[in-house]
């Protein structure tokens, strides 16, 4: 796959960038060159059959797989570290134990092979890789992942957050309910499968506050409904999706109207959900807007988006010892000086 001209960073000599993702469940490594050729996108994700994501266990997972994922990515790209010009890593936001593993691996490679190192913001990476892959020019992004749920758009040199969850991310909400009913992590795809068999809509709280949403009360409510044994699980799963996704589409639409933007870009693992994609499609059609949906391996956490952002921010290289993780780094704290 190749990225189209016009979206490429302004780099004279060809550069190859290697990016490391490790904010939560996924340890991923992507490799891309400045001509837009995607050379590798390899990952190994932590999953469970019953419980949820446990930060220390996710960290142990990353420690176990990190060397192999880097090796596999290099071999997929057909290069060795000598051929890499720049290393980038997800500096935040994320789970500190997981972030540290990615940063230490990136620092080790940067020291051993004397390569420049740049730390990038994970949420911004979702947006930029989505933009470059789909060719969306100036979209509102509905970013729905495990920990993060935000409606983002570019205004005045920053990616502003126009709406967000007031408590937990929609992915964490789905994962939490799946864990409660004894299904493992990640729960989103399992809820989706159940929802396909749902027949009856059960009314749940619908919580939109201005441009923001909240899912904590809905989680308590569906757990109570599940415990009461009065409802079919499939109907609950179906109603969860219909309710929470409608909330997401409502705030995304309001942001599009407010910002007068005519493109919607989806990002984050929850946007792999076909029903959410369908709702987004209907909303965009009704307002004459365009919907852009990257492929699943770009929607979920991945190293490719980190490598791509590294190229965009190649002038942000700093001394290795001065670089640390930024677990609470917000999208709107990043100065967007590359576009
Ligand atoms: P990310 O952090 O962006 O990689 O997204 C991970 C989240 O996406 C997890 O909470 C998953 O449960 C969720 N997810 C993955 N696939 C789906 C799907 N088909 N439907 C809903 N949620 C999903
Ligand atoms: Mg993510």
List, as one string, the DSSP characters of 24-71. SSEEEEEEEETTSBEEEEEEEE--BSSS---HHHHHHHHHHHHHHHHH
The DSSP element (H or E) to which 251 belongs, if any, is: helix 233-259
Q: What's CA 142's distance to the chain center, in Å?
A: 10
| Ligand index nearest the alpha carbon of residue 146 | 1
| H or E element, residue 227 | helix 216-227
- Tell me whether the omega of the peptide bond preceding residue 93 falls within 30 degrees of 0, making it cis: yes
**Of all atoms in ligand 1, which is nearest to the CA of residue 174?**
12
What ligand is nearest to the CA atom of residue 175?
1
pLDDT of residue 198: 98
Distance CA 253, CA 99 (A): 33
Rounded Cα distance between 57 and 64, Å, is 11
High-pLDDT (> 90) share of the chain, %: 91
Tokens 């019953």, located at residue: 50
Q: How many helices (H) and strands (E) does the chain have?
A: 10, 12
The pLDDT-based confidence of 48 (bands split at 50, 70, 90) is: confident
For residue 13, what pLDDT is reported? Answer: 82
For the CA atoms of 143, 144, 147, 150, what is the dihedral angle to 10 degrees? Answer: 40
Using one digit for the tens of pLDDT, what is the confidence trace for 252-285?
Answer: 999 999 999 999 999 999 999 999 999 999 999 9
Tokens of 172: 């964490």
Distance from Cα 174 to the centre of ligand 1, integer Å: 8
- 171 CA from centroid of ligand 1 (Å): 5
Q: Which residue in 27, 280, 52 sits closest to 188, CA to CA?
A: 52
DSSP state of 322: G
Q: Which atom of ligand 1 is nearest to the CA of 24?
A: 2
Contact status, residue 185 vs residue 175, Cβ threshold 8 Å: yes
Q: How far is the CA of 12 from the centre of ligand 2 (A)?
A: 31
Q: Tell how far the Cα of 297 is from the centroid of ligand 2, in angstroms.
A: 11
Which helix (DSSP H) or strand (DSSP E) does residue 246 occupy?
helix 233-259
**64-121 residue pLDDT tens:** 999 999 999 999 999 999 999 999 999 999 999 999 999 999 999 999 999 999 999 9
Atom number of ligand 1 nearest to Cα 300: 4
Atom of ligand 1 nearest to the CA of 171: 10
Residue by residue, DSSP assigns 85-108 as: -EEEEEEESS-HHHHHHHHHHHHH
Give the gyration radius of the chain's Cα atoms: 20
Ligand 1 centroid, distance to 48 Cα (angstroms): 14
Choose one of 243, 248, 266, 270 to mutate for the ligand 1 pocket test, by most ligand atoms within 8 angstroms of C-beta: 270
The pTM is what?
0.94
Query: Would you say residue 174 has pLDDT above 80?
Result: yes
- Return d(Cα 154, Cα 308) in angstroms, integer: 18
Task: Determine the pLDDT at residue 34.
Answer: 92
Kindly report, residue by residue over 176-200, the tens digit of the pLDDT.
999 999 998 899 999 999 999 999 9
| Residue 5 banded pLDDT, cuts 50, 70, 90 | low
Q: From the CA of 186, how far away is ligand 1's center (Å)?
A: 7
Mean pLDDT of 5-24: 84
What are φ and ψ of residue 170, in 5° steps? -65, -35
If one compares 54 and 20, the residue with the highest pLDDT of the two is 20
Q: Is the peptide bond before 186 cis (omega within 30 degrees of 0)?
A: yes
Phi, psi of 160 (to 5 degrees): -85, 145
**Which H or E run includes 118?**
strand 117-121
Name the token pair of 229: 């044994």
- SS3 of 141-172: EEEECCCCEEEEEEECCEEEEEEEECCCCHHH
Report the atom number in ligand 1 closest to the C-alpha of 45.
Answer: 4
Give the mean pLDDT of the chain: 95
In the 8-state DSSP scheme, what is residue 328?
A: T
Give me the pLDDT at residue 4, please: 60
- The ligand whose atoms approach the alpha carbon of 274 most closely is 1
CA 170 – ligand 2 centroid, Å: 12
Tens of pLDDT, residues 110-165: 999 999 999 999 999 999 999 999 999 999 999 999 999 999 999 999 999 999 99
Confidence at residue 6, expressed as pLDDT on a 0 to 100 scale = 60
Residue 1 scores a pLDDT above 70: no
Ligand 1 pocket, Cβ-based, cut-off 6 angstroms: 24, 145-146, 171, 174-175, 186-189, 192, 268-270, 272-273, 300-301
pLDDT band at residue 36 using 50, 70 and 90 as cut-offs: confident
Residue-wise pLDDT tens digits, 321-331: 999 999 999 99
What the block records as the tokens of 126 is 């979702």
State the pLDDT at residue 9: 74
* Residue 53 confidence class, pLDDT cut points 50, 70, 90: confident
Percent helix, strand and coil across the chain, each to the nearest 5: 45, 20, 35
How large is the average pLDDT for residues 293-309? 97
More confident residue, 53 or 295: 295
**Ligand 1 atom nearest residue 274's Cα:** 19
Q: How many CA atoms lie within 13 A of 6 on its CB side?
A: 7
């Amino acid at each position: 796959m190749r990225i189209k001209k016009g979206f490429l960073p302004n780099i004279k000599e060809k550069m190859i960038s290697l990016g490391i993702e490790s904010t939560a469940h996924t340890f991923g490594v992507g490799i891309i060159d400045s001509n837009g050729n995607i050379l590798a996108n390899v990952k190994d994700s932590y999953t469970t059959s019953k419980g949820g994501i446990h930060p220390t266990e996710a960290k142990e997972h990353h420690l176990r797989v990190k060397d192999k994922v880097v090796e596999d990515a290099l071999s997929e790209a057909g290069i060795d570290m000598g051929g890499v010009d720049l290393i980038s890593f997800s500096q935040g936001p994320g789970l500190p134990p997981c972030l540290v593993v990615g940063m230490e691996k990136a620092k080790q490679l940067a020291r051993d092979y004397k390569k420049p190192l740049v730390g990038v913001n994970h949420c911004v990476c979702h947006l930029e890789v989505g933009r470059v892959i789909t060719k969306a020019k100036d979209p509102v992004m509905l970013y729905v992942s495990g920990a993060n749920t935000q409606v983002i758009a570019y205004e005045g040199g920053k990616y502003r957050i126009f709406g967000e969850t007031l408590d937990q991310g929609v992915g964490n909400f789905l994962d939490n309910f799946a864990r409660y009913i004894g299904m493992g992590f990640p729960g989103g795809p399992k809820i989706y499968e159940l929802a396909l068999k749902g027949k009856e809509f059960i009314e749940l709280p619908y919580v939109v506050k201005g441009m923001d949403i909240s899912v904590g009360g809905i989680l308590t409510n569906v757990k109570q409904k599940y415990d009461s044994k009065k409802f079919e699980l499939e109907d609950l799963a179906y109603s969860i999706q219909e309710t929470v996704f409608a909330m997401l589409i409502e705030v995304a639409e309001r942001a599009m109207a407010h910002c007068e933007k005519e493109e919607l870009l989806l990002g984050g693992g929850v946007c792999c959900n076909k029903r959410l994609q369908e709702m987004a499609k209907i909303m965009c059609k009704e307002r004459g807007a365009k919907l852009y949906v990257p492929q699943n391996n770009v929607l979920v956490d991945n190293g490719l988006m980190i490598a791509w952002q590294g190229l965009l921010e190649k002038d942000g290289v700093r001394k290795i010892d001065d670089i640390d993780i930024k677990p609470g780094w917000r999208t709107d704290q990043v100065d967007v000086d590359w576009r």
